[in-house]
């Protein structure tokens, strides 16, 4: 009897980031009939954070190459992630600033260091049978690349070659699809696979909410709470002052409590110290800082909230999947994160609802979001989940990346 080809789930879940950890879990849940292996750029064990034990792709592929594995790119903004970005985000947070400062004036040493950590690829989270001949087929599920059109020519060429060699490509926003179309690549537009979190893991998340920190938050705020996450771009005093003033107004008007949480601990992600500085500006408000950064604790916290405000796209997507009011924070001035959020929300958000807001405009936008029709939010959640399931099912039918459906 011929054994089925193994399937490598490849993505940036080799470091702590809420969205990447969640996308790996979603992919694994959708493919229960396949022999699965999780791979990133480095060997890391993320099970402490409810992730997976991850192998470095070159070493894993060397073992599996005789069996001609398939590889599925598991979502995320991977198409325009440079080797420098990937290498830095693999560092321990306490090392990052010192390494960046040391390498900044040493161009040759910096290039050698990047290659030692990423293998020499310009877009290291994009794999292709052309560059890795041990692979049989590759596919891309719900990936993003809002900045790909502006990326350096070499990186862009490497990514487009990998996409042309893939068996199936789906992207999560109109901008990425348009960029690929200009290069002659047909990509299906699908919601981010994280929209399936309530469908796949609703029961598990509800059970998680009954214990640990999520349960403490529920008990602490009988009138409900706002779940709030901030990225590093909000760490300046002006942003924190504006947020504090807006939060005071919202909590006074609604009677909610406030729970602050981190969605990523890798470099260039969240810093618990920023949340502590915000909390210090709100001494009289009902407030908690959630210490846990485990995947299912964060999901349970969001699912149990009255609303979620976050700079993290996937924190917002989880709130959307549970039919809850949601709002994305963006900093003053353009940023890559802001463009990524805007591209996704323009592709999938309900018309008429507030989408992105600056810190100084949080209160009125959040009150509008809280007043949204609950039935419409639930229908949006169901519609996005159904669209994603249908699109991924076509991947399974066409290319054999398949798995049975599951009830929530």
276 & 156 share domain = no
pLDDT of residue 33: 82
- What percentage of residues in the chain have a pLDDT greater than 70? 95
Which residue, chain included where needed, has tokens 């999938």?
A: 348
153 & 11 share domain = yes
Within a domain: 227:
yes
Q: What is the pLDDT of residues 251-283, one digit of tens each?
A: 999 999 999 999 988 888 889 999 999 999 999
185 & 216 share domain = no
Within a domain: 400:
no
Q: Which two tokens stand for residue 387?
A: 């669209």
Within a domain: 324:
yes
Query: Distance (Å, rounded) from C-alpha 93 to C-alpha 73?
Result: 25
Residue span of the structural domain in which 29 resides: 7-190
What residues are paired with 76 via a beta bridge?
A: 143
Check: CB of residue 235 under 8 Å from CB of residue 278: no
Check: CB of residue 231 under 8 Å from CB of residue 269: yes
Q: Stretch 394-405: mean pLDDT, rounded?
A: 55
Query: Distance (Å, rounded) from C-alpha 182 to C-alpha 61?
Result: 32
184 & 253 share domain = no
Q: Pick from 10, 241, 218: which is nearest to 131 by CA?
A: 10
206 & 256 share domain = yes
Question: Which of 157, 190, 223 is at the close of a domain?
Answer: 190
Q: Which residues contact 101 (CB under 8 A, 6 or more apart)?
A: none
Query: Does the model's pTM come out above 0.75?
Result: yes
Query: Distance (Å, rounded) from C-alpha 342 to C-alpha 328?
Result: 9
Q: What is the pLDDT of residues 19-30, one digit of tens each?
A: 999 999 999 999
Dihedral angle over CA of 230, 231, 232, 237, nearest 10: -30
- CB-CB neighbours of 200 under 10 Å: 23
Q: Stretch 37-52: mean pLDDT, rounded?
A: 96
Check: CB of residue 136 under 8 Å from CB of residue 5: yes
107 & 183 share domain = yes
> Kind of pairing, strands 53-56 and 44-45?
antiparallel
Confidence of residue 405 (pLDDT cuts 50, 70, 90): very low
Confidence of residue 117 (pLDDT cuts 50, 70, 90): very high
Within a domain: 406:
no
Query: Distance (Å, rounded) from C-alpha 353 to C-alpha 345?
Result: 11
177 & 254 share domain = no
3-state DSSP assignment of residue 232: helix
Q: Stretch 231-256: mean pLDDT, rounded?
A: 95
What total of structural domains would you count in the chain?
2
Q: Pick from 264, 247, 197, 184: which is nearest to 13 by CA?
A: 264
Q: What is the pLDDT of residues 207-228, one digit of tens each?
A: 999 989 999 999 999 999 999 9
126 & 205 share domain = no
Residue-wise DSSP of 4-55:
PPPEEEESSTTS-BHHHHHHHHHHHHH-TTS-EEEEESS-EE-GGGT--EEE
CATH number at residue 369: 3.40.50.2000
- Positive or negative torsion for Cα 79, 45, 228, 335: negative
167 & 210 share domain = no
- CB-CB neighbours of 379 under 10 Å: 13
* Mean pLDDT computed over every residue of the chain: 92
122 & 245 share domain = no
CA R_g for the chain: 21
Within a domain: 138:
yes
317 & 206 share domain = yes
74 & 179 share domain = yes
């Amino acid at each position: 009897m011929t054994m089925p080809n193994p399937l490598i789930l490849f993505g940036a879940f080799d470091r702590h980031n809420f969205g990447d950890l969640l996308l790996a879990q979603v992919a694994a849940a959708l493919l229960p009939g396949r022999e699965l292996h999780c791979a990133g750029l480095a060997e890391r064990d993320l099970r402490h954070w409810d992730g997976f034990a991850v192998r470095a792709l070159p070493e894993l592929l060397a073992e599996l190459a005789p069996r001609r594995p398939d590889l599925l790119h598991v979502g995320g903004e991977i198409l325009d992630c440079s080797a420098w970005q990937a290498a830095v985000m693999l560092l321990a947070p306490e090392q990052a600033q010192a390494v960046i400062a040391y390498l900044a004036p040493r161009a040759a040493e910096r290039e050698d260091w990047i290659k030692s950590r990423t293998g020499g690829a310009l877009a290291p989270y994009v794999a292709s049978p052309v560059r890795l001949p041990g692979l049989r087929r590759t596919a891309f599920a719900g990936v993003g690349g809002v900045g790909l059109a502006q990326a350096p020519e070499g990186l862009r060429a490497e990514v487009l070659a990998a996409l042309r060699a893939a068996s199936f490509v789906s992207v999560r926003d109109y901008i990425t699809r348009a960029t690929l179309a200009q290069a002659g690549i047909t990509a299906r537009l699908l919601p981010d696979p994280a929209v399936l979190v309530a469908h796949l893991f609703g029961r598990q998340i509800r059970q998680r909410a009954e214990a640990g920190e999520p349960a403490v938050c529920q008990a602490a705020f009988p009138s409900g709470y706002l779940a709030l996450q901030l990225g590093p771009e909000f760490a300046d005093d002006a942003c924190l002052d504006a947020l504090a003033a807006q939060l005071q107004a919202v909590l006074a008007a609604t009677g909610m409590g406030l729970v602050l949480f981190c969605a990523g601990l890798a470099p260039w992600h969240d810093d618990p110290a920023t949340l502590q500085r915000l909390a210090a500006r709100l001494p009289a408000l009902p407030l908690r800082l959630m210490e846990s950064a485990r995947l299912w604790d964060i999901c349970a916290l969001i699912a149990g909230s009255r609303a979620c405000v976050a700079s993290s796209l996937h924190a917002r997507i989880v709130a959307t999947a549970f039919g809850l009011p949601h709002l994305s924070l963006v900093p003053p001035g353009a940023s890559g994160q802001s463009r990524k959020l805007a591209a996704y929300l323009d592709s999938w958000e309900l018309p008429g609802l507030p989408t992105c807001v600056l810190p100084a405009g949080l209160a009125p936008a959040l009150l509008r979001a809280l007043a949204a029709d609950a039935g419409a939010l639930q229908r949006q959640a169901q519609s996005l989940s159904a669209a994603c399931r249908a699109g991924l099912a076509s991947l399974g039918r066409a290319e054999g990346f398949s798995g049975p459906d599951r009830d929530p």
